[in-house]
Amino acid sequence: MLQGEMYNPMDPELVRERERARSKFQEINSMEETRKEDRDLLFYDLLGKAGDGLYIEPPFYCDYGYNITAGDNLYLNFNCCILDVMPVSFGNNVMLGPNVHIYTATHPLELKLRYSGKELAKPVTIGNDVWIGGGAIICPGVSIGNGSVIGAGAVVSRDIPDNVFAAGNPAKVIKKIDNNS
């Protein structure tokens, strides 16, 4: 799975690991707001690695959790969903709006292979100082460059370079951003 090869998502070990993550994020999602410190500790335990300043607004959903890594100051707004079959890495100072979905899992295009029940996955990399607007979808295998902004509702199906604003379906670069001012 982590080598990008076809895998069986119903493998008993994978099922147990997804159940572990679901138990943890369900506990997190049901915690009272007054228990934010306890919630934050559980988020740090759920994710593979995260720097200082992790802030996640519940509800939050993921497949495994341990394939998600983040630098400092990651902010995920309400209802983010990360299907982390492969690594999802966030740089420093990244903000996601509400309802952002990040997918690493995908399925074969060929009907016979798709009916086999096996899946594929491709990693997602999000650079430093990135802002992803609400409702955006980041597809498997995508990298988003440093300093870039993704517009609300965008479907990012290919790599986005550094310091640009990209939006649409499929997302395309709309303009360059001067981040040196």
Q: Which residues are catalytic?
A: 107
**Cis upstream peptide for 12 (omega within 30°):** no
SS3 at position 83: strand
What distance in Å separates the CA atoms of residue 82 and residue 94, rounded to the nearest whole number? 15
Contacts of 79 (CB under 8 A, 6+ apart): 59, 60, 61, 98, 99
How far is Cα 119 from Cα 7, in angstroms, rounded to an integer? 5
Q: What whole-number distance in Å separates Cα of residue 93 and Cα of residue 53?
A: 9
- Tell me the Ramachandran region of residue 23: left when phi exceeds 0, alpha when psi lies from -120 to 50, beta otherwise: alpha
Instruction: Report d(CA 118, CA 139) in Å as an integer.
Output: 18
3-state secondary structure 29-70: HHCCHHHHHHHHHHHHHHCCEECCCCEECCCEEECCCCCEEE
